Structure 1
Amino acid sequence: MFRSKRSTLVKRLWKSRILQNETSSTTETPEELELKSVAQSMLKRLKEKQLDVLVHSVESKGGETTECVLLPKGDIRLGRRNVAPQIMCCQLWRWPTLAQGAELKRLPCCVSANDPAYVCCNPYHWSLLLKTESPKPNLAWPAIQVPSTDRPPEMGESTETGMTPTSRRDLYTDGTNSCRGPQWCSIAYWELKQRVGRLLPVFDPAINIFQVLPHGDGMCLECLQQETDMESVKRTREKIGFGLILSKEEDGVWVYNHSHFPIFVNSPTLDIPNSRTLTVQKVLPSYSIKIFDYKQAQWIEDIRDPQFLDGPYDPSSIRISFAKGWGHNYSRMFITSCPCWIEVLLNVNR
C-alpha cells in the first residue's frame, strides 16, 4: 500500500510536467526517457509526505501555500551535464527552457535559505529574477533610519488624494495586531481615480494581494470590489488572479508577479533622479523585482532638486498596476487611467 501511494504520487508529478513542445507526440523520445529515469530517481529520495507536498504545489500552480521540499545539495547527473536539483525541478514543472546558470530568487514562503546541507526543490518557492538598471550614486551610501518602533504611525497618507490623512482607527477592528511586528507600509486599492476600501496596514514581512487565491490569506481585492458598469475594470479584475506578493527584505522591498498577466511598477528608486522621466517597469508573470531600495532612496532624497517636482510627490510611495501599463510607452499617461492598481505607502521618513 505504501509503495502504491508513492508510485501514484510520482506518476501524478510526471504527468504534471511542462513540456517544451505541447504538441509533441505521446511517444517518449530517448531524451525524455532519460529525463524520466533521472527525475524518478530524484523523487525516490523524497519521503511520502514531501511527495504529497510537491504534488499539491505543482497541481495548484502555486495557488496553495506549501512547505519546503528539501533535497541534498549537489548537482544531479543528466546525460553529459550536471543540473542543480532546484533547477531541474523548475525545468520540469515551471520553465522547461530554464538555463542551468539561471539566477533565481527565493519567495518569502521559502524558509530553508540558511540550510547548510539541503536545498528547497519546491518549484513554486522560486521566481525568475528581473534585474533593472537602477540609478547608482557616485558617493558612499548615507545611513538611513528605518522606523523600528512597535507602534505604527498614527496616520497613513495617499499622494493620489492630495496627501489626505486616514485615521488608523478605521483600518482594522479585530484587535489582533498587538502581537505583530511594526507596521512597514499601508496599501490602498484603486480603480481608475476611485479608491476602493480603506487603507490596509501591513505588519507581516510579506503579504499576498490577490483577486482569487485558493486557501490564501492577505488582501483579497474581490472582497473590496463592488458592482461596476465599466468594462475595462471588469476585464482587468478577471486578469488579477493570484495577484502578487509584496515583501520587505533586508535589501529593500520586493514584488513577485503571481498572476498570469504582467504587472507594471513605478517607484522612486526605479526613476532617474532629478528628471521628469517616469519609469514604469513591466514585470512578466513568475518574475520578482526589487521595487524599493532603502539606501538608494536616501541618496536620491539627499540630491533631489525641488525644481523638478511638478506636483504632489512622495519619495516613499510605489504604484503597481495590474495588466495595464501607463506612462510614455503606453496609451495611458497616468496611473489613474489604469482600471485596477494599488498604491504602497512605505513607513519611511513618515
Structure 2
Amino acid sequence: MFRSRRSGLVRRLWRSRAGGDGGVSCCGLSEPPAVSPELRSAASAVLKRLKEQALCALLEAVESRGAAPGGCVPVTRLGAPPHLLLCRLFRWPDLQHPGQLKALSGCQGAGGSDSNSVCCNPYHYSRVCGPESPPPPYSRLSPKIEQKPLVDLSDPYTEMDVSGPLCIPAGDVSDTSLSPNTSKQGRWCSVAYWEHRTRVGRLYAVSQPSVSIFYDLPQGNGFCLGQLSLENRSEAAARTRGKIGLGIVLSREADGVWAYNRSEHPVFVNSPTLDAPACRPLVVRKVMPGYSLKVFDFKKSCILRHLPAPPEHADGPYDPHSIRISFAKGWGPCYSRQMITSCPCWLEVLLGR
C-alpha cells in the first residue's frame, strides 16, 4: 500500500514537469518535452530520498504552479545541488547554475553552502534578474516624467493595518504630497494601489518581513487587490486587473527590498536606486514571471540621501524612498504611456526612513 501510493505520487510529479515555455503541464492532455538522461537520473535520485509527506508537499506546489507553494522540502545534499535539479525539472529547463536562484524570504530550509541539507521545493525559489547594460529602450523615463509622490502618509486615517480584513473600502482618491512616517509600530512600508491617476482603497501598512500583493488568492494572507471596488473603472484597468493573478511578493531583507513576480505576466519597476546615483533619469526594469529583482538598495539609498535632487525633479518634490510597480504594462519614451499615471494598474511602495 505504501509503495503503491508513493509510486503514484512520483508518477504525478513526472507528468507535471516543466514544458518548453517554462510552465507546468499537469492535465495529461499533452506530454511535456523529454528530459535528458542525466537530469532524469539525478532528479530520480532526489525524489527517491524524499519521504512521502515531502512528496505530497512537493506535488501540491508543482500542480498548483505556486499558488499553494507549500512548506519546505528538505533533502540531504548528495552530488548536484538538489534544488537546482528540481527547479530545472519543474520550472526552468534552461537553468544552469544555483547562483541564478534566490531563496524566497519564507523558505526556512534553503541553508548555506556548508549546510548538509537544502530545501528542494522549486516554488521556494525565484530566478534573479541579471543586470541590464545598456538598458533596453523601454527603460529610460522621459526627463519630463512626473516624480511627485502621490500619497499622504501623514494622514492616519488613510492607513490599513495588515492584520485587518481583506475587503477594503475605497479611500480618498485625491493626489497629495508625501510626508512619510511608515516606521511607526514597526511598519517598514505602506503600499498604495492606483488605477491611472486614481488611488483605490486605503494605504496598506506592512510590518511583516514580506507581503503578498495579488488579485485573487484563496490561500494565505496579503493585500487582495481583487476586493478593491471603484466606480466607473476603465476598461483598460479591468483587463489589466485580470492579469495580476498571483501578483508579487515584496520582502525586506538585509541588503534591500526585493520583488518576486508570481504572476504570468511581466511587471515593471522604477525606484531611485535601480541606476547609478549620478545617472538620471531613472530606469524602469522589466521583471519576468518567476524572477526576483532587488528593487531598492539600502547602500545606494544612503548615497542618494547626501546628493542634491537631480535638475529634472526641481519642479516638484523628489522622494528617494519610494518604489513604483506597474502590472503587465510598461511606461517610458518607447511606450504610448509616458508616465506611471498612465498605467492601468500600479503600486506605489512608500518606505520608512
TM-score (norm 2): 0.80
How far apart are the structure 2 equivalents of 1:344 and 1:18? 33
Map of 1:161-240 to 2, 5 A cutoff? 161=151, 163=152, 165-167=154-156, 171-172=160-161, 182-226=186-230, 228-240=232-244
Q: 1:86 aligned to 61, 78, 83, which one? A: 83
Deviation, structure 1 residue 304: 2.4
Q: 1:257 aligned to 250, 256, 261, which one? A: 261
Q: What is residue 292 of structure 2 aligned with on the other side?
A: 288
Deviation, structure 1 residue 325: 0.7
How far apart are the structure 1 equivalents of 2:263 and 2:164? 31
Q: What is residue 146 of structure 1 aligned with on the other side?
A: none
Amino acid at match of 1:9: L
Map of 1:62-211 to 2, 5 A cutoff? 62-75=66-79, 83-100=80-97, 102-114=99-111, 116-132=115-131, 159-161=149-151, 163=152, 165-167=154-156, 171-172=160-161, 182-211=186-215
Deviation, structure 1 residue 5: 1.1
How far apart are the structure 1 equivalents of 2:161 and 2:33? 56
Is the CA contact 1:64–1:213 (under 8 Å) kept in the aligned structure 2?
no
Amino acid at match of 1:246: L
- C-alpha spacing 1:54/1:311, structure 2 compared with 1 (3 Å): same
Is the CA contact 1:46–1:71 (under 8 Å) kept in the aligned structure 2?
yes
Q: 1:324 aligned to 308, 329, 339, which one? A: 329
Q: What is residue 304 of structure 2 aligned with on the other side?
A: 300
1:143-163: CA deviation from partner (whole Å, max 9, x where unpaired): xxxxxxxxxxxxxxx9214x4
1:26-81: CA deviation from partner (whole Å, max 9, x where unpaired): 6997x656644443332111111000000000001110141111111232xxxxxx
Instruction: Please tell me the root mean square deviation across aligned C-alpha atoms, in Å.
Output: 2.9
How far apart are the structure 1 equivalents of 2:272 and 2:295? 9
What is the percentage of aligned positions where both structures have the same residue?
Answer: 49
Amino acid at match of 2:249: I
Amino acid at match of 1:165: S
1:171-208: CA deviation from partner (whole Å, max 9, x where unpaired): 249689xxx97110000000000000000110000000
Deviation, structure 1 residue 272: 4.3
Between 1:203-212 and 1:297-306, the stretch displaced more is 297-306
TM-score (norm 1): 0.81
**How many residue pairs are counted as aligned between the two chains?**
313
Between 1:320-329 and 1:225-234, the stretch displaced more is 225-234
Is the CA contact 1:191–1:338 (under 8 Å) kept in the aligned structure 2?
yes
Deviation, structure 1 residue 328: 2.0
Task: Find the residue that maps to 1:52 and give its secondary structure.
Answer: helix
Q: What is residue 11 of structure 2 aligned with on the other side?
A: 11
Deviation, structure 1 residue 306: 5.6
1:102-145: CA deviation from partner (whole Å, max 9, x where unpaired): 521111121123362101110001111113369xxxxxxxxxxx
- C-alpha spacing 1:119/1:174, structure 2 compared with 1 (3 Å): closer
Between 1:282-291 and 1:263-272, the stretch displaced more is 263-272
1:316-343: CA deviation from partner (whole Å, max 9, x where unpaired): 1110000001122322111100000000
Is the CA contact 2:280–2:310 (under 8 Å) kept in the aligned structure 1?
no
Verify: 1:344 aligned to 2:349, yes or no: yes
How far apart are the structure 1 equivalents of 2:2 and 2:349? 49
Amino acid at match of 1:171: M
Q: What is residue 153 of structure 1 aligned with on the other side?
A: none
Deviation, structure 1 residue 249: 0.2
Return 5+ residue gaps in structure 2 as ranges: 134-147, 166-183
Is the CA contact 1:128–1:288 (under 8 Å) kept in the aligned structure 2?
yes
Between 1:314-323 and 1:107-116, the stretch displaced more is 107-116
- C-alpha spacing 1:314/1:52, structure 2 compared with 1 (3 Å): same
Task: Find the residue that maps to 1:198 and give its secondary structure.
Answer: strand
How far apart are the structure 1 equivalents of 2:32 and 2:290? 30
Is the CA contact 2:272–2:282 (under 8 Å) kept in the aligned structure 1?
no
How far apart are the structure 2 equivalents of 1:303 and 1:170? 30
How far apart are the structure 1 equivalents of 2:130 and 2:33? 37
